[in-house]
Amino acid sequence: MTTAYDLTPDWNAANRYDVTTAATLLMTNTSAYDIRWARTADILQPLLDPQVAAMLRSGESISLSIPGGQSLWLAAHPRGSVAVDVFPYTGQGV
Protein backbone atom coordinates (compact mmCIF):
# COMPACT_ATOMS: atom_id res chain seq x y z
CA MET A 1 0.00 0.00 0.00
CA THR A 2 1.34 3.45 -0.93
CA THR A 3 0.26 6.65 0.78
CA ALA A 4 1.20 10.05 -0.67
CA TYR A 5 1.55 13.12 1.54
CA ASP A 6 1.66 16.83 0.65
CA LEU A 7 3.67 18.24 3.51
CA THR A 8 3.52 21.39 5.61
CA PRO A 9 6.38 23.07 7.54
CA ASP A 10 5.05 21.96 10.95
CA TRP A 11 4.15 18.58 12.42
CA ASN A 12 0.57 17.92 11.40
CA ALA A 13 -1.60 14.88 12.19
CA ALA A 14 -2.61 14.75 8.50
CA ASN A 15 1.06 14.02 7.72
CA ARG A 16 1.47 11.23 10.26
CA TYR A 17 1.55 7.51 9.48
CA ASP A 18 0.42 5.36 12.41
CA VAL A 19 1.89 1.86 12.45
CA THR A 20 -0.69 -0.56 13.87
CA THR A 21 1.42 -3.73 13.56
CA ALA A 22 5.17 -3.94 12.97
CA ALA A 23 5.94 -2.96 9.38
CA THR A 24 8.73 -1.98 7.06
CA LEU A 25 8.18 1.43 5.48
CA LEU A 26 9.86 2.68 2.32
CA MET A 27 9.78 6.46 2.39
CA THR A 28 10.59 8.27 -0.88
CA ASN A 29 10.99 12.03 -1.20
CA THR A 30 9.08 12.81 -4.40
CA SER A 31 9.63 16.58 -4.29
CA ALA A 32 12.36 19.08 -5.10
CA TYR A 33 12.67 19.98 -1.40
CA ASP A 34 14.25 18.30 1.61
CA ILE A 35 11.74 16.69 3.93
CA ARG A 36 12.02 16.10 7.68
CA TRP A 37 10.80 13.11 9.61
CA ALA A 38 10.62 11.76 13.14
CA ARG A 39 9.29 8.67 14.91
CA THR A 40 7.30 8.71 18.12
CA ALA A 41 6.32 5.88 20.46
CA ASP A 42 2.66 6.85 20.13
CA ILE A 43 0.47 9.36 18.28
CA LEU A 44 1.75 12.37 20.24
CA GLN A 45 3.52 15.05 18.22
CA PRO A 46 7.35 14.98 18.34
CA LEU A 47 8.90 17.31 20.89
CA LEU A 48 11.67 18.41 18.54
CA ASP A 49 11.21 21.12 15.94
CA PRO A 50 10.89 19.78 12.36
CA GLN A 51 13.93 21.86 11.33
CA VAL A 52 16.19 19.66 13.48
CA ALA A 53 14.53 16.31 12.68
CA ALA A 54 16.06 13.67 10.42
CA MET A 55 16.33 14.79 6.79
CA LEU A 56 15.54 13.01 3.54
CA ARG A 57 16.92 14.80 0.48
CA SER A 58 15.06 15.28 -2.78
CA GLY A 59 14.81 12.02 -4.74
CA GLU A 60 16.19 9.86 -1.90
CA SER A 61 14.51 6.89 -0.22
CA ILE A 62 14.95 5.23 3.15
CA SER A 63 13.65 1.95 4.54
CA LEU A 64 12.49 1.91 8.17
CA SER A 65 11.33 -1.04 10.26
CA ILE A 66 8.90 0.28 12.85
CA PRO A 67 7.18 -1.58 15.70
CA GLY A 68 3.41 -1.46 16.04
CA GLY A 69 2.08 1.47 18.04
CA GLN A 70 4.67 3.97 16.80
CA SER A 71 4.04 6.88 14.43
CA LEU A 72 6.05 8.39 11.58
CA TRP A 73 5.72 12.18 11.36
CA LEU A 74 6.55 14.10 8.17
CA ALA A 75 7.17 17.79 7.44
CA ALA A 76 8.84 19.97 4.80
CA HIS A 77 9.67 23.64 4.39
CA PRO A 78 8.66 25.43 2.28
CA ARG A 79 6.72 22.46 0.96
CA GLY A 80 7.31 18.94 -0.22
CA SER A 81 5.78 15.59 -0.95
CA VAL A 82 6.62 12.06 0.05
CA ALA A 83 5.35 8.58 -0.74
CA VAL A 84 5.29 5.94 2.00
CA ASP A 85 5.06 2.29 0.92
CA VAL A 86 4.15 -0.20 3.64
CA PHE A 87 5.39 -3.80 3.62
CA PRO A 88 4.90 -6.61 6.14
CA TYR A 89 7.55 -6.77 8.84
CA THR A 90 10.26 -9.27 7.85
CA GLY A 91 11.77 -9.84 11.29
CA GLN A 92 14.80 -7.56 10.92
CA GLY A 93 15.48 -4.14 12.37
CA VAL A 94 12.64 -3.54 14.84
Q: The CATH number of the domain where 72 resides is what?
A: 2.60.120.10
The answer, yes or no, to whether residue 39 has pLDDT greater than 60, is yes
pTM equals 0.90
Q: Which of 31, 35, 29 is CA-nearest to residue 53?
A: 35
When pLDDT is cut at 50, 70 and 90, the band that residue 30 belongs to is very high
Burial 39-66 (b: 16+ CB within 10 A, else e): bbeeeeebeeebeebeebeeeeeeebbb
Say if 46 falls within a structural domain.
yes
- How many domains does the chain contain in total? 1
Phi, psi of 8, rounded to the nearest 5 degrees: -115, 165
Say if 74 falls within a structural domain.
yes
Q: What is the pLDDT of residue 90?
A: 74
Say if 94 falls within a structural domain.
no
Q: In terms of residue numbers, what domain contains 34? A: 2-88
Say if 45 falls within a structural domain.
yes
Q: Which of 13, 8, 21, 4 is CA-nearest to residue 73?
A: 13
User: Which has more pLDDT, 64 or 77?
Assistant: 64
